[in-house]
Structure 1
Amino acid sequence: MSRKITVAAAQVGAIDLSTPKKDVVERLVKLLREAAEKKVQLVVFPECTLTTFFPRHLIGLQEELDKFFEHGEDITQSPDVKPLFDEAKSLGIDVSVGYAERTPDGTGYNTCVYYSASEDKVLSKYRKVHLPGTKEPFEDPDAVNQLEKRYFTPGDLGFQGFRVPSLVQNVVKKETAKEGESTIGKGDPIMGMLICNDRRWPEAWRVYSLQGAELIMFGFNTGGNMAHLWGSKPMSLEKAKTEALFHSRLVQQANSYMNACFSISSARCGLDDGKYDLIGGSAIVSPEGHVIAEAKTEDDELVVAEIDLADCVQGKTRTFDYGRHRRIETYGLIDKQTGVVEPDLL
């Protein structure tokens, strides 16, 4: 049963520390209008889409820090971002958008939401679970910092898969499903969201996979040279950036294959403030792990592909067939231990 949809990663280029959100949103709307011209049904925007990636900066004043966050329960009504959601509704395009969220109790989260144009509401919210980096900046003044642990709290919403209406026609609904008949690959699309560093953690993908996820979306802000953060060997800036891009693509392709799902990655990239280099590499990957479409620049760019969610069925029911082949009685350490505990020395 063919279930085709046209999707896009909306890559976003350089944003400086002083760039107003209004200017960024205008760029996002421009990408959305380009998507409409190409008959795109779903656009995925990057992590912390609306500003520069502020966790690289040490920001002391709370009032100054709060400018980078969105406040209030409903992001679609935020004065800064409402024009984007209004445009999405007008064009009939679903969007996934990443942003810094400040809850009413003052907690900060690295968050993204899925907005359905047909329903005119947020269908799902995800908060980043795997926060990289440090709380304090590195002593080396030339180091590129990553202070997400300072500004954000680990996500508390888990990995909740969700169905999306109106993207695929003639699907099986609850009221039309026949008793006893398999509905795998016949209903509305099942999706999940991750954010940046989450993509490196196979546990996150697998939890979505066990809910039947057919499409995983994630945005990222990944430095081209994060030697201090990763503790990597000294290397040229060019080689470090090549490695960062390789690893970003590696985890997307491998996890798409191992979980028999499509994936869309969207980069916030470019040279922020003329000095902070972020990789591009936005891509759409198939359930067989192949790159279907990818970015060619480190600027604002729309990466578009038509995908058929029916392509997920073979991997889910044949190659892996999790229900028959997973051996959960052997995986005990996965949810009982965090750090490494080596066997006793000989």
Structure 2
Amino acid sequence: MARTLIVAAAQVGAINKDTPKQEVVQRLIKLLHEAASKKVQLVVFPEIALTTFFPRYLFTSQEELDEFFEHGEDVTQSPDVKSLFDEAKSHGIDITLGYAERTPEGTGYNTCVHYSASEGKVISKYRKVHLPGTKEPFEDPEAINQLEKRYFEPGNLGFQAYRAPGLVPDAANKTSVKEGQSTAGKGDPILGMMICNDRRWPEAWRVYALQGVELITYGFNTGGNMAHLWGSKPMSPEEATREALFHSKLVQQANSYMNACFSISSARCGLDDGKYDLIAGSAIVSPEGHVMAEAKTTGDELVVAEIDLENCRQGKEKTFDFARHRRIETYGLIPRQTGIVEPELL
């Protein structure tokens, strides 16, 4: 049975440090309007989509830093962002949105939410687990910093898959299924969210895959030239950008294939403040690892594809039939050990 839906990555170009959130939100709404004209049902916005990627800066003023965060329990009611959710509701389009979250207790998280238009509310929240970068800035004044570990705590919500209602017509539900009948691949779509650096960690994808995930969404802000952070060999800015794009596409295609799921990646990209380069490369990838659609620019751009979730079944039931082929008795190091421990020297 076909379970098709039209999805999009809403790539967002350069945002400067002093760009007002309201201005950015209007750009997001413009992309949402374009999505509506193309009958898109789900739009994925980038990580920290409302502001410049502020963790590159060292802030000494808490008040200045807090301007980059959304405050309160319900981001859909945030004064700067409410209009975006209202537009999504009026067009009947689900959205996932990345933003900096400040909890009532004062904790900072790099967060994204899935807003369901049919439900008129957030149905799932995810907080970034794998925070890259450093807590202190580099000594080199010319270095590009990445201070996520300074401004955010690691996510505490885990990798929780969820079903998104209203996207696929005639989806099986509790009242329509007979006792003992298999429901695999018949219900509302099963989704999972990640953020940026999480995409590089296969454990995150596999935890979702073990919950039957059919579509993983994530936004990212990835530097085109982060030599101090990655400790890479000397290369030109052009070479560094090509390498960053290669790895971004590599992990998306490989993990989509190995976990038999579609994926949507959405970039915050471009040249912020005329000096901070972020790669583009937003893409929609199939369960066989093929790029179905990808960005052609480094600016605001909507990347659209029609996907059929039924195409996940071959990988889940044949190539990667976990129930028949996984050997968890041999994977003991995965939950027990974080760093590398080499065998003893000969």
Equivalent residue number for residue 153 of structure 2: 153
Equivalent residue number for residue 195 of structure 1: 195
CA offsets 1:279-324 (integer angstroms, 9 cap, x no match): 0000000000000000000000000000000000000000110011
Equivalent residue number for residue 218 of structure 2: 218
Equivalent residue number for residue 260 of structure 1: 260
- Give how far 1:21 is off: 0.1
Rounded Cα–Cα distance in structure 2 between residues aligned with 1:166 and 1:180: 25
Rounded Cα–Cα distance in structure 2 between residues aligned with 1:191 and 1:137: 36
Equivalent residue number for residue 251 of structure 2: 251
Residue 148 of structure 1 aligns with an amino acid whose one-letter code is E
Rounded Cα–Cα distance in structure 2 between residues aligned with 1:320 and 1:7: 25
Residue 175 of structure 1 aligns with an amino acid whose one-letter code is T
Equivalent residue number for residue 53 of structure 1: 53
Matched, 1:124 2:129: no
Q: Matches of residues 25-36 of structure 1 in structure 2 within 5 Å? A: 25-36=25-36
Residue 7 of structure 1 aligns with an amino acid whose one-letter code is V
- Give the % identical residues: 79
CA offsets 1:93-125 (integer angstroms, 9 cap, x no match): 000000000001110000000000010000000
Residue 92 of structure 1 aligns with an amino acid whose one-letter code is G
Rounded Cα–Cα distance in structure 2 between residues aligned with 1:65 and 1:234: 33
Matched, 1:275 2:272: no
Q: Matches of residues 57-206 of structure 1 in structure 2 within 5 Å? A: 57-206=57-206
- Give how far 1:29 is off: 0.2
Contiguous gaps of at least 5 residues in structure 1: none
CA offsets 1:12-33 (integer angstroms, 9 cap, x no match): 0000000000000000000000
CA offsets 1:127-159 (integer angstroms, 9 cap, x no match): 000000000111111111000000000000000
- Give how far 1:180 is off: 1.6
TM-score, normalised on structure 2? 1.00
Rounded Cα–Cα distance in structure 2 between residues aligned with 1:310 and 1:2: 6
Rounded Cα–Cα distance in structure 1 between residues aligned with 2:170 and 2:322: 27
Runs of 4+ in 1 over 2 A off after TM superposition: none
Equivalent residue number for residue 293 of structure 2: 293
- Give how far 1:272 is off: 0.1
Rounded Cα–Cα distance in structure 2 between residues aligned with 1:130 and 1:259: 19
CA offsets 1:166-199 (integer angstroms, 9 cap, x no match): 1001111011112222111100000000000000
TM-score, normalised on structure 1? 1.00
CA RMSD of aligned residues (A): 0.4
Rounded Cα–Cα distance in structure 1 between residues aligned with 2:19 and 2:114: 25
Residue 281 of structure 1 aligns with an amino acid whose one-letter code is G
Matched, 1:242 2:242: yes
Residue 289 of structure 2 aligns with an amino acid whose one-letter code is G
Equivalent residue number for residue 44 of structure 1: 44
Rounded Cα–Cα distance in structure 2 between residues aligned with 1:142 and 1:181: 62
Equivalent residue number for residue 209 of structure 2: 209
Give the secondary structure class of the aligned counterpart of 2:26: helix
Contiguous gaps of at least 5 residues in structure 2: none
Rounded Cα–Cα distance in structure 1 between residues aligned with 2:123 and 2:246: 32
Q: Name which of structure 1's ranges 236-245 and 179-188 shifts more when overlaid on structure 2.
A: 179-188
Residue 315 of structure 2 aligns with an amino acid whose one-letter code is G
Give the secondary structure class of the aligned counterpart of 2:112: strand
Equivalent residue number for residue 322 of structure 2: 322
Q: How many residue pairs end up in the alignment?
A: 346
CA offsets 1:252-285 (integer angstroms, 9 cap, x no match): 0000000000000000000000000000000000
Rounded Cα–Cα distance in structure 2 between residues aligned with 1:319 and 1:182: 20
Rounded Cα–Cα distance in structure 1 between residues aligned with 2:314 and 2:177: 21
Give the secondary structure class of the aligned counterpart of 2:95: strand
Rounded Cα–Cα distance in structure 2 between residues aligned with 1:306 and 1:272: 32
Rounded Cα–Cα distance in structure 2 between residues aligned with 1:239 and 1:257: 27
Rounded Cα–Cα distance in structure 1 between residues aligned with 2:15 and 2:201: 28
Equivalent residue number for residue 312 of structure 2: 312
Rounded Cα–Cα distance in structure 2 between residues aligned with 1:63 and 1:323: 52
- Give how far 1:161 is off: 0.2
- Give how far 1:244 is off: 0.2
Give the secondary structure class of the aligned counterpart of 1:68: coil
Residue 344 of structure 1 aligns with an amino acid whose one-letter code is E
Rounded Cα–Cα distance in structure 2 between residues aligned with 1:224 and 1:143: 13
Rounded Cα–Cα distance in structure 2 between residues aligned with 1:41 and 1:314: 24
Equivalent residue number for residue 4 of structure 1: 4
Residue 108 of structure 1 aligns with an amino acid whose one-letter code is G
